[in-house]
Amino acid sequence: MSADDALAATTSGLQLNRLASKYELHSQGAEARVWEGSLQARPVIVKQRFSKQYRHPVLDAKLTVSRLKQEVRSMMRARKLGVRTPVPFLVDHDASCIYMERIEGHSVKTLLHERSLQESDLEALLVAIGRTVAKLHDGGLVHGDLTTSNMMRRQADQDLVLIDFGLSYNSIIPEDKAVDLYVLERAFSSAHAEAGAAMFERTLEAYRRASKQWSATLNRFAEVRMRGRKRAMIG
């Protein structure tokens, strides 16, 4: 048996072949592959978590299932809080896949890069981001990976939709929310250069107005920022 045959013979190899026959590979990250296609005539995204070779197989399977469940739970929880996310359709535990609604639109990262937004649209988008994160945080949910690629603007109604809840968790601790905001700040400044800092400030202002718990969170955020700067200076 060749090395390729051996790979195909593993469960994940079989699952990969099965998905590849029906769906198109959209992207491949460190821990997940994203496929697109349709399910019962609806546009879907299939997010497949794959194993880390260095982890013990049994432990790995357990971790994968628990992260899969957590991701779906967090999406449902966000939706209950009035935050738009893709609708989860089904979870295939054996194949470590989540089937969810495919959002038609562009990521916020792409929109900001194109610089094609009118000033008023840009303002509306930044305010929507601040309000959306405030809703999540006030509801006790931390996103865990707040980057501009994990936010999309839906074509049909221009609504902001959050995706990628793979690192989300429940927390009401100001430190956790502050770190979430710090990740967002870093994402704005690294992906969108100087303009990013000003954009983040506008988002933060909208967050402050929308969040009932803004005071504790923003005090903590100032500390997290300071720690970040010190770390950057030390190198």
Ligand X SMILES: Nc1ncnc2c1ncn2[C@@H]1O[C@H](COP(=O)(O)OP(=O)(O)OP(=O)(O)O)[C@@H](O)[C@H]1O
- Contact residues toward Mg ion (CB under 5 A) are 150, 164
Residues 102-131 that bind ligand X (CB under 6 A): 102-103, 107
Contact in structure between 146 and 130 (CB atoms under 8 Å): no
Q: Which does 102 bind (CB under 5 to 8 A by kind): ligand X, Mg ion, none?
A: ligand X
Q: Which of 217, 138, 231, 133 has the alpha carbon at shortest distance from 178?
A: 217
Q: Which amino acid is at 9?
A: A
Q: What is residue 153's three-state secondary structure?
A: strand
Question: How many chain residues are in contact with ligand X, going by CB under 6 A?
Answer: 21
68-107 footprint of ligand X as x/- string (CB under 6 A): ------------------x-------------xxxx---x
Give me the active site residues, please. Answer: 145
**Among 16, 19, 32, 141, which residue sits at the site for ligand X (rule: CB under 6 A)?**
32
Residue with Cβ nearer Mg ion (183 or 211): 183
Burial of 22 (0-12, 13-18, 19+ CB in 10 A): exposed
164-203 footprint of ligand X as x/- string (CB under 6 A): x-x-------------------------------------
Q: What is residue 51's three-state secondary structure?
A: coil
Q: In what order do the strands lie in the sheet with 160-162?
A: 105-107, 151-154, 160-162
Contact in structure between 165 and 74 (CB atoms under 8 Å): yes
Q: What residues make contact with ligand X under the rule CB under 6 A?
A: 26-27, 29-32, 34, 45, 47, 86, 100-103, 107, 145, 149-150, 163-164, 166
